[in-house]
Amino acid sequence: MDFFRNFPFFTIILAMVSGPVSSVLSGKKARILSLCVVFSCTVLSAMTLIYTLGLEEPFVYTMGRFGAPFGNEIRAGVLEALMATFFCIIMFLSLTGGLKYLEKDVPEEKQNLYFIMINLLLASLLALIYTNDLFTGYVFVEINTIAAAGLIMIRGWGRNILAAAKYMIMSLLGSGLLLVSISILYGITGHLLMSNLHESIAVIAENKTYIEPLIIAVGLFSVGLAIKSALFPFHAWLPDAYGYSTCSSSAILSSLVSKGYIFLLIKFIYRVVGVEVFKMTGADDVLFLFGIAGMIIGSVDAIMQTDISRMIAFSSVAQIGYIYMGFGLGVEAGMVASTFHILAHAAAKSMLFVSANGLAEVSGESMNYRDLRGSGIRNPWAGIGFLAGALSMVGIPLFAGFTSKVYFAQAALLGASPAKEIVTLIALAVSTVLNAVYFIRMSISVYTPRMNAQYEDRSFRAGKAYAVSIFLFIVIVLILGILSNPIFDWISLGLKQFS
């Protein structure tokens, strides 16, 4: 059974090696290789999840059998394996759902470059999930950033290059804050391994020594990852980056890249500084305020959009606000709800972007909501996919988004301070109403027949890969909504193992 302990490291290496290999292949072969790699990583991650569920505690894999500080190590528990499995599934479905659009958006000679970025992105996400070393996490944050920028600009259009430049400027600012934070922590503790950092920081907090540098380090690390994950008010780069990218790129960027950064923050809170120390610094209150603001302002911005892709992009600002609001509640139930919302939002948002491209395909390639009238009838799979994603985002019962909002409300009622409780419940209600305004408006539009059938193509048939990906997205969103209890139990167990 110890053989299973190699799987996390093997998935990272497999994805990392397949990147350079893709560079010497044709676009078609690189595409096949990448799909096989992502599928293999999905299977191996699922097997790791099953293995960790049978263990009493997480296991540590030491690379090269050299312990810290000379070697490096990764750590795998229930939560890490769950996230790795889910991320791989979403990436696979995003790629298969966007294959036909990739062939139109990216020339054949550039497709191998595209899949180099995909493989490096997968490797960096898996490394962020499993790493037990804070500086190694920073290294893969940078790899993640570069790969994401490549996916944004792969089309080569002027607006894509500008969007990538905006993304890089903000991401580099966040990276700089991360590096300064890690340097401060190393300076006051002498460690980079998360478990060793946790022990040293606990002593610092108890003895009241180096408190000011510790507060600064926690603040810089939190703000750095908030910038990179597009928390309000650091979200200016997000609409163009998501809205102008290819179908698969938008789905992957919105659902996985920002969530990788957020998961690293969860590990930082639990495994590096500890929840109580994090609350002592006041960082939870700051994240709470920014999260609440993002929930409302992101939704208001989405209402003002006429372009469906930009509407979905601004919706991500609101949903990221939900996650940070949960962090800021300062209770374990809030962290569990936020972690679950990472899964719920990732599945629904990927499906929305893949569906939006299908709707545009039968509407003269227009993303304007007026031109999309009747597109859900002309492309039924895209229509039902968009409707399911919209219902989840609004928070309709049986869908994943409803479960998230219920658990956020419960977390606020069961343990948060009275002020945070009231603000959270009001923000949840207001944000839900605002979500309903723009998603229901768009859903009605795509199912309202056009008086002018200019764009109608009765011969249109959705590809099998597209239909299967939409179907599986819907299944995932419903599973997260209906069978959420075991998933919440796994998340709770994983967070307890972090402590």
Residue 194 banded pLDDT, cuts 50, 70, 90 = confident
Instruction: Give the residue from 123, 285, 130, 146 showing the smallest Cα distance to 219.
Output: 285
Pairwise CA distance, residues 129 & 137, whole Å: 9
Model confidence at 329: pLDDT above 60:
yes
Q: Could you tell me which residue, 203 or 457, shows the higher pLDDT?
A: 203
What is the pLDDT at residue 475? 94
Q: Within 13 Å of residue 93, how many CA atoms lie on the same side as its CB?
A: 31
- Read off the pLDDT of each residue in 238-266 and give the average, rounded to a whole number: 86
Q: Residue 448 CA to chain centroid, in angstroms?
A: 32
Please check whether residue 327 lies inside any domain of the structure.
yes
Please check whether residue 196 lies inside any domain of the structure.
no
Asked which of 101-105, 235-239, 318-322, 341-345 is least confident by mean pLDDT, the reply is: 101-105
Asked which of 36-40, 93-97, 368-372, 406-410 is least confident by mean pLDDT, the reply is: 368-372
Please check whether residue 106 lies inside any domain of the structure.
no
What is the pLDDT at residue 343? 93
Please check whether residue 63 lies inside any domain of the structure.
no
Please check whether residue 362 lies inside any domain of the structure.
yes
What is the pLDDT at residue 457? 52
Please check whether residue 304 lies inside any domain of the structure.
yes
Dihedral of alpha carbons 163, 151, 220, 273, sign:
positive
Model confidence at 323: pLDDT above 80:
yes
Q: Residue 414 CA to chain centroid, in angstroms?
A: 27
Model confidence at 433: pLDDT above 60:
yes
Number of domains in the chain: 1
b/e map 37-46, b = 16+ CB within 10 Å = bbbbbbebbb
Pairwise CA distance, residues 416 & 409, whole Å: 10
pTM over 0.85: yes
- Read off the pLDDT of each residue in 223-228 and give the average, rounded to a whole number: 91
Angle between helices 108-130 and 258-267 (to 10 degrees): 10
Main-chain phi, psi angles of 221, to 5 degrees: -65, -45
The domain of 375 spans 282-499
Please check whether residue 455 lies inside any domain of the structure.
yes
Angle between helices 380-394 and 332-361 (to 10 degrees): 150
Please check whether residue 109 lies inside any domain of the structure.
no
Q: What is the mean pLDDT of the chain?
A: 86
One-letter amino acid of 378: R
